[in-house]
Structure 1
Amino acid sequence: MRAPGLGTVLRGFRDRCDFVLPGTAGSARRAPGLRREELAVLAGVSVDYLVQLEQGRAARPSAPVVAALSRALRLDEEDSAVLHRAAGLAPATGALSRSVPGSVERMVTRLRDWPVAVYSADWWLLRWNAAWTALLGDSGRLAGRARNVVWFEMTQPSPLVWVDPREEEIYRDAIVGDLRVAYLEHPDDAELADLVTALHEVSAEFAERWGAARPARYRGMRKHVEHPVAGAVVLDGDVLQVPGSDVRVVVYSPAPDSPDAGRLARLVSGGC
Structure 2
Amino acid sequence: MTTTEFGRTVRRWRDRVRPEAAGLPAGGPRRAAGLRREELALLAGISVDYLTRLEQGRASHPSAQVVAALARALRLSGAERAHLHRLAGLAPPGPHTMPTEITANVQRLLDRLAGTPVAVYDASWTLLVANPPYAALMGDPSARRAEENNGVWRQFLGADSRTRLTPEERLGLQTALVGDLRSAVARYPDDPRLRRLVTELRARSDRFAELWDSGVVGRHESARKTIDHPHVGTLTLDCDVLTVAGSDLRIMVYTAAPGTEDAERLALLTVLGTQSLAG
| Shared fold, TM over 0.5 | yes
CA distance in 1, matches of 2:261, 2:118: 20
1:65-144 correspondence to structure 2 within 5 Å: 67-74=64-71, 77-83=78-84, 87=89, 89=91, 92-144=94-146
2:151 counterpart (149, 152, 161): 149
Using the TM superposition, give the Cα deviation of residue 178 of structure 1 relative to its aligned residue in structure 2, in angstroms: 1.1
User: How many angstroms does 1:193 deviate by?
Assistant: 1.5
Q: Distance in 2 between matches of 1:91 and 1:111?
A: 28
**What percentage of aligned pairs have identical amino acids?**
33
SS where residue 10 of structure 2 aligns? helix
Partner of 1:266: 268
C-alpha contact 2:81 2:92 (8 A) present in aligned 1 = no
Partners of 2:226 and 2:112 in 1: how far apart? 25
Residue matched to 1:233: 235
User: 1: CA distance between counterparts of 2:248 and 2:101?
Assistant: 8
Q: Distance in 2 between matches of 1:6 and 1:33?
A: 23
Q: Which moved more, 1:225-234 or 1:127-136?
A: 225-234
CA distance in 2, matches of 1:19, 1:124: 27
Q: Which moved more, 1:144-153 or 1:104-113?
A: 104-113
Q: Cα distance, 1:113 vs. partner?
A: 3.8
In structure 1, the residue matched to 2:192 is 190
Query: Is the 1:115–1:129 contact (alpha carbons within 8 Å) kept by the matching residues of 2?
Result: yes
Structure 1 position 34, deviation (Å): 6.2
CA, structure 1 residues 93+33, in 2 after alignment: closer, same or farther (shift >3 Å)?
Answer: farther
Q: Give the CA deviation at 1:126.
A: 1.4
Q: CA deviation at 1:187?
A: 0.6
SS of the equivalent of 1:74 reads helix
How many Å apart are 1:160 and its aligned residue? 3.7
- 1:14 aligned to 2:10? yes
Change (3 A) 1:112 1:79: closer
Cα deviation, residue 258, structure 1: 2.9
Q: Which residue of 1 aligns with 2:174?
A: 172
Return the alpha-carbon distance in structure 1 between the equivalents of residues 198 and 46 of structure 2. Answer: 17
- The Cα of 1:158 is off from its aligned counterpart by 1.0
Contact 1:124 1:147 in 2 (8 A): yes
Q: Which moved more, 1:216-225 or 1:132-141?
A: 216-225
Quickly say closer, same or farther: Cα 1:247–1:256, change in 2 above 3 A.
Answer: same
Following the alignment from structure 2 to structure 1, what is the Cα–Cα distance between the partners of residues 18 and 252?
A: 21
Question: What is the deviation of 1:107?
Answer: 2.5
Name the aligned partner's letter for residue 204 of structure 1: D
For structure 1, which runs of at least 5 residues remain unmatched after alignment?
Answer: none
Distance 1:134 1:185 in 2: 33
Does the CA-based 8 Å contact 2:45-2:142 persist in structure 1?
no
Is structure 2 residue 220 aligned with structure 1 residue 223?
Answer: no
Distance in 1, matches of 2:92 and 2:132, equals: 38
CA contact (8 A) 2:164 2:225 kept: no
Unaligned runs of 5+ in 2: none
Q: Write out aligned runs for 1:23-62 (5 A).
A: none
Q: For 2:213, what is the secondary structure of its paired residue?
A: helix
Do the aligned residues in 2 keep the contact of 1:164 with 1:224 (CA within 8 Å)? no
CA gap of 1:77–1:210, structure 2 versus 1, over 3 A, is: farther
Which SS does the other structure have where 2:173 is aligned? helix
Amino acid at match of 2:181: L
- TM-score (norm: length of structure 1): 0.73
Supply the distance in 2 between the matched residues of 1:70 and 1:137 (Cα, whole angstroms): 22
Task: Give the number of aligned pairs.
Answer: 256
Q: Structure 2 length normalisation: TM-score?
A: 0.72
The answer to whether the 8 Å contact 2:221/2:241 transfers is: yes
Q: In structure 2, how many angstroms separate the alpha carbons of the residues matched to 1:197 and 1:29? A: 47
